[in-house]
Structure 1
Amino acid sequence: MPYMQMTEEQFKVPVLKNVIYALRLVWQMDKRLLIGYLLQEGLYAVFSRYLQNILFLKILLDVITGSGDFRTYVGELAAFALLALVVKVAQWEGMRMEKCATKRVLKLLNDRIFEKALSVDVACYENPEFYDKYQRATMVTTNSFFDLICFDFSAFVADVVALVCVMATVAAVHPLYLLFLVPVFFVFAVEVYKSKCVYRRDMSMTANKRMQAYVQRTVYLREYAKDMRTSNIFAVMVRRMEAATKANVRILRDYGVRLFLYSVVSSLLGELLPVLGTYAFACHSFVQGSGLTVSGFSVVASGINAVRESTLDTTECFDEMTLMALYFQNLREFLDYQPQVVSGPLPVPPLETLEFCHVDFTYPGTDRQVLHDVNFTLRQGETLAVVGINGAGKSTLVKLLLRFYDPTVGQILYNGKPLPEYDLEQLRAAFGTVFQDYKNFALSVNENVIGHACTPAEKALAEQALRHSGVWDKIASLPRGADTVLTREFDEAGTGLSGGENQKVSTARLFARDFQIAVLDEPSSALDPVAVYKMYENLLQVTENKTVIFISHRLSSAVLSDRILVLADGRVQESGSHRQLMERNGLYADMFRLQASGYKQEGGAAGAQA
């Protein structure tokens, strides 16, 4: 499996701009997080590395060597002890602020990401590049990058302040010492290139990591367990996992040498040259007797050690900030993404007509036209069945009705006005939809049907809906009834349902809603023909005087419909009632007779076995 190749544009991201964006984002959510870290790191760097390790040591050595006054030293010691107490209390307060703010920022940031994920176009989830960007955006919260960038920024500022203070003190001893600290400033340039190299490596590994996560996820999920054990698919998945792992190993190997060289150069410039040069010059000055005192030498020695530590911490923080900034680039692009399917200003009135006018549609990123010149009108109270073989374009009609996508060509009119003119949330609320790829969640049956924690009245509504969908007897037999959680993933008292029972629970959502148009996209794929017919009968009773659209390759629903559209190759091939289409003896009649003969054969076989 080849690993993902990244374009140069994906690496040319403005580091400083993204650092500012990240800090501003955190500041808007809770400024205490940044203030808390500034208090902790700023006071630690200045007090520990400068006041305590250099100035106080110099004063002590002046007293020991006789060049300082002891009474003055005692006064300075008392002031130093008082300052140490104030610094410690301030650090404790900073720690308290940071701990409280971290939880709040995490919640608010997750809320923003989830809200944006809910608002982006459905097409984005079918785009691997966008999905990878979304995954990297969530790493800001899952890996606490927002917290880390605040820490690194605070530590960076604190270390720079301490570094300036130390350098000023060392320069007071002899200005030539500053010359040996010049290489330190080149470290930052090296770390920028190193961070971008790390980012390139991580970006290149994203697709392979997604494959690894997919394989790991499917191995543990219940719905894949039977297929894994009854086919060779497990071996295929293992090979995919091994290929993804090997691809990432190659990536790590390809980038390993470069990252090692960056680290060597950084250590050479930030540690070896400054420390060796300064110590050599200090020893030379001390031996030559050029006026360098013991306390002065201690200032130089301690100062160089402080410079080394500050440089290491500063470059590490700068390195991490640069890397975090690159991930915040993904978060910024994700949060700034503007959906292509936008809401209109008009409220959604009661349905009178729904009309497809010369609608063509091609999925983004493909060349195949899924729908071509689709035309039909549906009036309030009508029941329409859309039938056809798999891949005919039936489910795409649902996506266009709900504005998951907009037509490539043509318009869909609601009461004579294009769908984009209406409020998007109200428009989707007007449809009661059961999807082909239905999903139930690890929540109680009641919550799966109603969509939230239920009041007693809503539980009664859920029971009625479950009765209509034909699964209430099964749900009522459970120890906790409709309060039973589906799946045992989070609740040992939970339960697992069969495919047909799960589909009936999903269908019950439709019966529990107030809607204007019912849309059932293959709602009976896991049901037997008798259950299908009963479900459709119940639906027609509940939706009396409402508009219903059945989408199925099974034709039992078509018999109960006012009108039938037959789709083939994305076109409406036939249109009419069941009786009209059977008399026409075209595509629909052929499909209907073929399915009917299959049911008769099944019934005959069952009778023979009996």
Structure 2
Amino acid sequence: MNSKAKAVINNLLFIMKYIAKWKKSIFFDIGLYSVFLGLSPFIWIYVPKLLIDELTGQKSTKRITIILASAFLIAGIIGYSKEFLQGRFRMKMNTVRYGFIRMLAEKTMKMDYAYTEDPDILKEVRIAMKTVNNTAEGIGLVIIKLFSIPGNIIGFLIFSIIIIQLNPFIWGLLLISLLLSYLFIDKANRYQRSCKDDLSHEERKSYYASIKLNDFQYGKDIRMYGLKRILLQKKSEADEKVVQITDAVKSRYLHAGIKEGVLMALREGIVYAYLIISVLNKNISISNFVLYTFALNGFVTWMQTTIKDFSDIWVNSLYVSDFREFLKKDEESSSTDSLNPKALQYDIVFDKVSFRYPNSERDILKNFSIHISPGERLALVGINGAGKTTLVKLLTRLYEPTGGRILINGIDIKEYDLTQYRKLFSVVFQDTKLFAFTIRENITMEYETANTEKYQESLRQSGIYEKTGKLEKKEETNLFKILDEEGVEFSGGEIQKLSMARALYKDGDIIIMDEPTAALDALAESRIYTEFDNLIKNKTAVYISHRLSSTRFCDNIAFLENGELKEYGTHEQLMQLGGAYAGMFQIQAEYYREEGHEE
């Protein structure tokens, strides 16, 4: 058995394992359906023979009536049973399919966060989504075909017995011709498979343009800067390439269909010539001629369907392989003997920490070391791309260091339970995302808020309480109009206040502000940082800003450049040093004086 066949079998076993886990009664339905499916074609193969024998023999009206009544009764029972089982199967199949969809969703949230910025991984995610989301391909199609394959095998065996009684040579001829037809189709299938990466890439570009064209949040920019044309052009180019790829695939299937048609003409000519000669030589009766004609036609159609089902399973099993490979991606790790990081205070040490993205050879951070004392306010400053946000992602374990280690209270953070560890942090990111949920749900991240008083206080402290109080539904108002026509659209500053309310409500022991006020002016940012710092009291805090004046209140300032710590100390010490920090501060101060702001 070759490796591809083993892969197909393993994929089928993988799917069946989860069918057994989520809806094992499907196997009973498959068994029962297989019997009805396998027997269904033979009623109307044998009934014409019986009728002809009776009409050319005793011509008994009673026997003819019994034959027809029995045929209709059996056909009705089988037909109803098939439809009933198919309907029940579809409902159960949805349970299984949504199970795989949940599995994919959980995996995307568990896999190493660094993968989310890898274009190749994003392509794999899209392919995995297609594998589980669509009943017409991937896992959905494999499950559907699994439902009918056992019945097809039963039908094949019965057809084979009938045709071998006629002539084993005819049976062999039919099999060979059908196998050739399969090879024609399989070649087209393999070509389609070879195009999947290119097709996925172009579909992703088209999908991106479509989403942005329909996203209200991009509406202002699209209109004011005339971006509609470029988005439509990019979508059109991607769609054109999608059409080219799909047309090439369809062309392969067309050529396969033409070859199959020629083969069918030759096969049918030989088979019917044999049957006619057999009747003329009185080797078979007229009734048997009809029986074998129906059986031969039924066998060919049956086998074409069966071969196509096997081919579909083979091709779509390859997508299942992609899905399973994606499930093997590295996940965010947590020690098997995980410790609870909760403590009264937190001493943080970066010890020669380096980091690079997966599949990259460039270090974002290089041998970075720093000590953050309990209750300390540390500012991380530097130009864009210096590595400031990367440090935050490493500290919060969104990333794992590729070198060195990070210690909290003397213990490597990898030793802590990941879920409990992340509870330590209240983080406000520059690009914090809000959801099309209610204001309350966006802040508490809870379906039902247990601590209403704490929630209300977080609104007051962040300065958004008055705004939400004026809304008709107050904090139960939905954000955005994506899911609710009466949803509200907040300004950038208001969204940042909601983000800070979320951080205050979580009440983490370590606070991180990752340039959440970058969209505001320098004075507003400085004021918000100072006010927020007063709210968090004696907690350890890390502030990130490219505006150096906003973080002068911090106990220490770390100036980063190209992923390395270049300068470290208080604002006054760094100004006296007269290095890169002092130079940048003076340039910014001069700029703000020209703009009319006082530093």
Q: Same fold (TM over 0.5)?
A: yes
1:312 aligns with 2:321: no
- Out of 266, 282, 285, which is 1:293 matched to? 285
Amino acid at match of 1:56: V
After superposition, the Cα gap between the structure-2 partners of 1:589 and 1:338, relative to the gap in structure 1 and judged at 3 Å, is: closer
Amino acid in the other structure paired with 1:158: G
CA deviations over 1:432-454 (Å, ceiling 9, x no partner): 11112211111111111111223
Q: Which moved more, 1:507-516 or 1:530-539?
A: 530-539
Instruction: Please give the TM-score of this superposition, normalised by the length of structure 1.
Output: 0.89
| 1:565 aligned counterpart, secondary structure | strand
The equivalent position to 1:205 in structure 2, one of 181, 186, 199, is 199
Q: Deviations over 1:254-276 (max 9, x none)?
A: 4444332223334444x333322
Q: Which residue of 2 aligns with 1:593?
A: 586
* Superposed displacement of residue 12, structure 1: 10
Distance 1:167 1:319 in 2: 21
Distance 1:426 1:324 in 2: 40
Distance 1:32 1:194, change over 3 A: farther
Of residues 101, 104, 110, the one that matches 2:95 is: 104
Structure 1 unpaired stretches of 5+? 1-9, 606-610
1:371 alignment partner in structure 2: 365
* 340 and 273 in structure 1: CA distance in 2 versus 1, 3 angstrom threshold: farther
Counterpart of 1:518? 511
Identify if the C-alpha distance between structure 1 residues 554 and 42 changes in structure 2 by more than 3 Å, giving closer, same or farther.
Answer: farther
Deviates more, 1:504-513 or 1:253-262: 253-262
The residue number in structure 2 matching 1:169 is: 162
Pairwise CA distance, 1:398: 0.7
**Match of residue 215, structure 1, among 209, 227, 232:** 209
Amino acid at match of 1:163: F
Deviation string for 1:3-33 (max 9, x for gaps)? xxxxxxx999933433343343334321344
Aligned partners of 1:12 and 1:121: how far apart in 2? 31
SS of the residue 1:603 aligns to: coil
TM superposition shift of 1:253: 4.4
Paired letter, 1:448:
N
Deviates more, 1:511-520 or 1:62-71: 62-71
1:567 partner SS: strand
Shifted more, 277-286 versus 19-28: the winner is: 19-28
Map of 1:558 onto structure 2? 551
Q: Separation in 2 of the partners of 1:129 and 1:155?
A: 36
CA offset at residue 66 of structure 1? 0.8
Q: Which amino acid aligns with 2:349?
A: E
Residues 351 and 405, structure 2, Cα contact 8 Å, conserved in 1? yes
Q: 1:45–1:162: 8 Å Cα contact kept in structure 2?
A: yes
Instruction: State the partner residue of 2:478.
Output: 485
The residue type paired with residue 489 of structure 1 is I
Cross-structure match for 1:420: 414
Q: Secondary structure at 1:494's aligned position in 2? A: coil
Q: Any conservation in 1 of the 2:523–2:597 contact (CA below 8 Å)? A: no
Matched, 1:454 2:448: yes
Match of 2:134 among 140, 143, 146: 143
| Aligned amino acid, residue 595 of structure 1 | Q
1:134 corresponds in structure 2 to 125
Q: Aligned equivalents of 1:486 and 1:205: distance in 2?
A: 35
Aligned length: 591
Superposed counterparts of 1:18-37, under 5 Å:
18-33=11-26, 35-36=28-29
Question: Alpha carbon RMSD of aligned pairs, Å?
Answer: 2.7
Deviations 1:463-485 (A, max 9, x none): 32122222222222222212111
Amino acid at match of 2:295: G
**What are the residue-to-residue correspondences of 1:278-357 with 2, within 5 Å?**
278-287=271-280, 289-339=281-331, 341-343=333-335, 345-350=338-343, 351-357=345-351
Moved more, 462-471 or 75-84: 75-84
Contact kept in structure 2, 1:167 and 1:178, CA below 8 Å? yes
Q: Residue type of the partner of 1:290?
A: K
Q: Residues of 2 paired with 1:230 and 1:121: CA distance?
A: 38
Query: How far is the alpha carbon of 1:88 from its aligned partner?
Result: 4.2
For residues 144-172 of structure 1, what are the alpha-carbon distances to aligned partners after superposition, in whole Å with 9 as ceiling and x for unaligned?
Answer: 24343222233333233213212311332
Whole-angstrom distance in 2 between the partners of 1:11 and 1:450: 49
Q: Quick one: which of 569, 579, 588 aligns to 1:576?
A: 569
User: Does the C-alpha gap of structure 1 residues 81 and 248 become closer, same or farther in structure 2, counting only changes over 3 Å?
Assistant: closer
State the AA in 2 paired with 1:63.
E
26 and 257 in structure 1: CA distance in 2 versus 1, 3 angstrom threshold: same
Identify which of 472, 475, 500 aligns with 2:468: 475
2:422 partner amino acid: R
| Cα pair distance change 1:224/1:11, threshold 3 Å | farther
Any conservation in 2 of the 1:385–1:563 contact (CA below 8 Å)? Answer: yes
Aligned residue runs from structure 1 range 235-250, under 5 A? 235-250=229-244
Deviation by residue 1:196-238 (Cα, 9 ceiling, x = unmatched): 2222233321101100001111112123222222335444333
Partner residue of 1:65? Answer: 56
Task: Give the secondary-structure state (helix, strand or coil) at the position aligned to 1:492.
Answer: coil
Bigger shift: residues 343-352 or 203-212: 343-352
Using the alignment, how far apart are the partners of 2:142 and 2:585 within structure 1?
Answer: 64
CA distance in 1, matches of 2:222, 2:569: 44
Closer, same or farther: CA 257–148 of 1 in aligned 2, 3 Å: closer
- Distance in 2 between residues matched to 1:178 and 1:588, nearest whole Å: 86
Does the CA contact (< 8 Å) of 1:191 and 1:318 recur in 2?
no
| Partners of 1:284 and 1:493 in 2: CA distance | 78
Q: Is the 8 A contact 1:11 1:196 kept in 2?
A: no
Question: Percent of aligned positions with the same letter in both sequences?
Answer: 28
Q: Secondary structure at the match of 2:595?
A: helix
Counterpart check, 1:500 vs 2:493: yes
Give 1:380 deviation, angstroms: 1.4
Match of 2:524 in 1: 531
8 Å Cα contact 1:503/1:523 also seen in 2: yes
Change (3 A) 1:160 1:275: farther
Whole-Å separation in 1 of the counterparts to 2:133 and 2:82 = 27
1:369 counterpart SS class: coil
Residue 304 of structure 1 deviates from its aligned partner by 1.5
Q: Give secondary structure in 1 for the equivalent of 2:516.
A: coil
- Distance in 2, Cα, partners of 1:268 & 1:31: 44
1:194 and 1:259 in contact (8 A); partners too: yes
Looking at structure 2, the residues matched to 267 and 164 of structure 1 have their Cα atoms a distance apart, in angstroms, of: 25
1:409 pairs, out of 393, 398, 403, with 403
Q: Show the 5 A alignment for 1:37-76.
A: 39-40=32-33, 42-47=35-40, 49-50=41-42, 52-66=43-57
TM-score by length of 2: 0.91
In structure 1, how many angstroms separate the alpha carbons of the residues matched to 2:39 and 2:307?
17
Once the two structures are TM-superposed, the CA of residue 281 in structure 1 deviates from its matched residue by 0.6
SS in 1 for 2:195: helix
CA distance in 2, matches of 1:483, 1:34: 46
How far off is 1:593 after superposition? 3.1
Instruction: Kindly report structure 1 stretches of 4+ aligned residues shifted beyond 4 Å.
Output: 10-13, 67-82, 340-344
1:113 is displaced (CA, Å) by 1.2
Question: Where do residues 113-132 of structure 1 align in structure 2 (5 Å cutoff)?
Answer: 113-132=104-123
Cα 1:178–1:103, aligned 2, differ >3 Å: closer, same or farther? closer
Equivalent in 332, 354, 361 of residue 355 of structure 2: 361
SS in 2 for 1:538: helix
Contact 2:346/2:540 (8 A) holds in 1: no
Partner of residue 87, structure 1: 78
Letter in 1 for 2:287: S
SS of residue matched to 1:358: strand
Cα 1:11–1:473 change in 2 (3 A) is: farther
Gaps of 5+ in 2: none
> What amino acid sits opposite 1:565 in the alignment?
A
Deviation at 1:98, TM superposition (A): 1.2
1:163 to 1:363, Cα distance in 2 relative to 1, 3 A: closer
8 Å contact kept, 2:334–2:415: no
